[in-house]
Amino acid sequence: MLTLEDYLMGRDKLYPEEWTLERKSNAIDLIKRVNNLLIALKIDSVKVSSGWRPLAINTRAGGSKRSLHMSGKAVDLVDFKPPQLKTIIVNNPQGLLEYGLWMEDPVSTPTWVHLDTGIRPVRTPRIFKP
């Protein structure tokens, strides 16, 4: 399962001034939702490719200036070849709705799965194009 330590990738220690209580609360909520989805899908192991991003790391990564990674509301999980995680989620889209998650369109994320708790107009499936 996903842990806060996995999600932070040590960045809370490198950028403590940006790791606020609000971001921590957002991250804990995100991790809970993602773990509930993984449990429901019978996925017991994931690896974070990008979790919380302080501004400098988000900029280096080429992330959007409004990236939900910066507020603790998004995570990217490694998707091994052949893509397994995204296929499982796409084939079980009700889990995204049930746990209040959104997934970035898999066409835009070739080697990872982006999940977030952003606010968007309700629609099915809960897959969005960046």
Give the pLDDT band of residue 121 (cuts 50, 70, 90).
Answer: confident
pLDDT digits (tens, 9 = 90+) for 37-60: 999 999 988 999 999 999 999 999
User: Has residue 122 got a pLDDT over 90?
Assistant: no
Sequence spans of domains, the chain: 4-128
Taking the model in full, what pTM does it have?
Answer: 0.95
Backbone angles phi, psi at 17, to 5 degrees: -70, -20
Q: For residue 25, what pLDDT is reported?
A: 98
Write the CB contacts of 112 (distance below 8 Å, at least 6 apart in sequence): 49, 50, 76, 77, 78, 79
Amino acid identity, position 97:
L
Mind spelling out the 3-state secondary structure of 55-105?
HHHHHHCCCCCCCHHHHCCEEEEECCCCCCHHHHHHHCCHHHHHCCCEEEC
CATH dotted code for 4-128? 3.30.1380.10
